[in-house]
A and B are shown apart, each in its own frame.
Chain A
């Protein structure tokens, strides 16, 4: 009796698991394995292909490659921090300050712009910031500036756009955990003599740490792996590492080199995420819940 029951459960499980497995295996695992194999292949002087570590070595030998990577990782961390600093007070306002009805409305206002594609939002920023854009027209119109200034294609404009396009992915997990923070903890801390800053540092942020970390991981990975925004807004001098990968695949047609870069991006980003989890004392299993 028990055995047949158990067998039934297993069949049901397999039935539902097969599509998931096929999806993951055929569209995710297999292509990645193939790319991984490719990243270790190279052709020698005679055009013969064979195993090599040159593709990975190139990353460390050519300063332009690893400098681009350092730039990308560094800016990704800065952008993640900026997004976090903006998201914390906004989440606090939505969950603790306004009433229940305003809370729904505000959350909707934050989510609605994200129904529009990233591309459209980036074009939006270009309309606002470009030389003939809205800000320039207003400032020149009221006579503050004599001639319009180009604000696009700089690191600053790139950061503004990446912060905006990724804010939601930080806000939602933080709103989720902040909602569960008992207001009386804040009052108790205040009653025991804590200032507002201490309450943030000792009560609110520790409570929200899982949400902060899951939001940070998502934002960091999205920013480090973003392609459209840097290529449209970054200009010639602010190359993103994804553009290096693109260049290898599409322009240089060196798939082996591109695959190696792709894996380096995945690997080093994962290390940064792992390190940040270690530093903040969080466990991945808690954070992804």
Chain B
């Protein structure tokens, strides 16, 4: 196992503000590593430190075991795909891609051959003589990536490069990028605020918040076993209950909510009775009208507020009866279509599928 990129206790301070606060991680050779976080969490700052545009306030960055302190950005073996791509408008596609090779002193036919080869690789054969403003968004994307990959960098950094594309193209490029990465075998470090991009493409995802990493894990583990309340809220949709942890006479644990409701909770290891906790249950874990004879279920009576139709991703927005607490749940494809808004239904879930964290008061966009 070879480590291409190693970041140790990297910290960046702007005045009194700590943009990146002691972040450590390692990326193995050939892996697709994503850093996922809301805007302003410090992920771009971290990326710029790796690229050499910012100096570290403290800590260390090593690329293939070589300390990068004091190495100028133009001497580092990392290449960066910029958020707005930063293609050179004064040059055509070929000159853009050849730019790095020429800076290395390569000349003539060899450069031409390499550029043509790279254009074919990213699916743009014969595009060499086009100007930048003749390209579509997706084509510009590929040129920006080709311009970096042709230099065979140890690590390719990508700063939300899909952000500017429209939805359909973005979905398409996610798959393209993943395929391209598998094909070239270069180590990718990808930063994004879009959890779906991170989940689909990455081998490992680091979830970042307020300058720190909350959790580094595989997408599957992040989704099913979030390590913190923030991760549970930020990665995928989740229903959140905040309340006090209680235990009844028969030894079952409950979260008692503010309006007197009590929700059965499964996994409570590490939490004391009486503690304020946040409990999460995924929308797809909730069953509509469960059979009454199933034991150990959290059951709630709810009123349907709206049916959020979105084809295969259709969901139900419900309100707990006698409360203002809203929940979302997946509307199964085969579910009878006779349900409508204002209907009263029962919902339930296996308490073991919920997760519990000590209340931290972290909020994400959807709660603001």
Contacts and interface: CB of A to CB of B under 8 A. Distances in A.
Given A184-B86, A187-B53, A203-B88, A194 B79 contact: no
Contact of A188 (B72, B75, B80, B104): B80
| A interface secondary structure, majority | helix
Band of interface residues on A: 10 to 19
Interface string A175-217: 0000000101101111111110010001100110000000000
A188 B151 contact: no
Contacts of B86: 182, 184-185, 187-188
A191 B87 CA distance: 12
A182 B86 CA distance: 8
Given A193-B104, A193-B151, A188 B90 contact: no
A187 B51 CA distance: 10
A192 B53 contact: no
A191 B99 contact: no
B74 A188 contact: no
Nearest to A198: B103
A8 B84 CA distance: 46
B127 interface: no
B82 interface: yes
A194 B99 contact: yes
Contact of A191 (B73, B88, B90, B104): B73
Contacts of A195: 74, 103
A194 B103 CA distance: 6
A193 B53 contact: no
A184 B82 CA distance: 7
Contacts of B79: 191-192
A191 B74 contact: yes
Nearest to A193: B103
A160 B99 CA distance: 39
Nearest to B147: A192
A283 to B, nearest CB: 15
Interface in B53-107: 53, 72-76, 78-80, 82-84, 86-91, 99-100, 103-104
A143 B232 CA distance: 78
Contact of A193 (B51, B91, B100): B100
Contacts, number: 60
Contacts of B78: 191
Nearest to B100: A192
A187 B76 CA distance: 13
A40 B134 CA distance: 52
B88 A190 contact: no
Contacts of B147: 192
Contacts of A194: 74, 99, 103
A207 B151 CA distance: 25
A202 to B, nearest CB: 8
Contact of B151 (A189, A192, A206): A192
Nearest to B104: A193
Contact of A189 (B53, B76, B88): B88
Contacts of A202: 88, 90-91, 99
Contacts of A207: 89-90
Contacts of B88: 185, 188-189, 202-203
A198 B91 CA distance: 14
B140 to A, nearest CB: 13
A206 B89 CA distance: 10
Contact of B82 (A188, A193, A198, A203): A188
A192 B77 CA distance: 9
B104 to A, nearest CB: 6
Interface string B296-334: 000000000000000000000000000000000000000
Contacts of B151: 192-193
B276 to A, nearest CB: 44
Report which residue of B76, B86, B91, B148 has the largest number of chain A beta carbons within 10 angstroms of its beta carbon. B86
Given A198-B103, A206-B90, A207-B90, A190 B82 contact: no
5 contacts: A182-B86, A184-B83, A192-B147, A193-B100, A203-B90
Given A188-B86, A191-B73, A206-B90, 13 more contacts: A184-B82, A184-B86, A185-B86, A185-B88, A187-B82, A189-B88, A191-B74, A191-B79, A191-B80, A192-B74, A194-B99, A195-B74, A195-B103
Interface of B: 51, 53, 72-76, 78-80, 82-84, 86-91, 99-100, 103-104, 147-148, 151
Question: Nearest 9 pairs between A and B by C-beta?
Answer: A188-B86, A193-B103, A192-B100, A184-B86, A206-B90, A190-B73, A190-B74, A184-B82, A191-B80
